[in-house]
Structure 1
Amino acid sequence: MLRALRRRKGLSQEALAHAAEIERNYVSLIELGRHSPSIRVIWKICAALDVTPSAFLAAAEARLAEHAKRTPATD
């Protein structure tokens, strides 16, 4: 989801990292799902992307819900 928002804004990982004042490799790790950003980092990313944190989190929640529907439960 972050990758899609970043690309929609026409930003490279480096440009987003610079605007959000975080490391470029951290942006990559978030996009790959290897790190979960803190609320502070989410806030910085959202400011750089001109998206509200609530809209960003709602989109993430919707994506996770869709993924859960497609993934069979392993109870």
Structure 2
Amino acid sequence: MNISEENFIINLGIHIRQLREKKGLSQQGLADDCGITKSQISRIEVATINTTIKTLVKIANALEVEPKELLDFPLK
């Protein structure tokens, strides 16, 4: 399978937003739990930045999921 980096980052952001909303968290709430800014969460969700693995681990911990679950989404 061949997927563009841009498409992967877009789908990652969508998936993180869905997981966040499922937990009933606002962007600010997730940012506070991760120790990062709300604007960074927003940029990840709308795919304007390519985030680090370190930040993904923080997000996974805040969402109470395994880091691999953040990457487990259907590719569109």
SS in 1 for 2:72: helix
TM-score, reference length from structure 2: 0.77
> For residue 20 of structure 1, what is the aligned residue in structure 2?
34
SS across alignment from 1:28: helix
Question: What is the correspondence of 1:1-75 to structure 2 with a 5 Å cutoff?
Answer: 1-59=15-73, 62=74, 64=75, 67=76
Q: CA deviation at 1:18?
A: 0.3
Structure with larger RCO (C-alpha < 8 A, sep 6+): 2
CA RMSD of aligned residues (A): 0.8
Runs (4 or more) in structure 1 with deviation over 4 Å come to none
CA distance in 2, matches of 1:9, 1:58: 17
Where in structure 1 are there 5+ consecutive unaligned residues? 68-75
Q: Deviation at 1:58? A: 2.0
Match of 2:12 in 1: none
Greater helix proportion = 1
Bigger radius of gyration: 1
**How far off its partner does 1:28 sit?**
0.3
Matched residue pairs, number?
Answer: 62
Aligned equivalents of 2:30 and 2:63: distance in 1? 8
Report percent identity of matched pairs: 37
Please, which runs of 5 or more residues in structure 2 have no aligned partner?
1-14
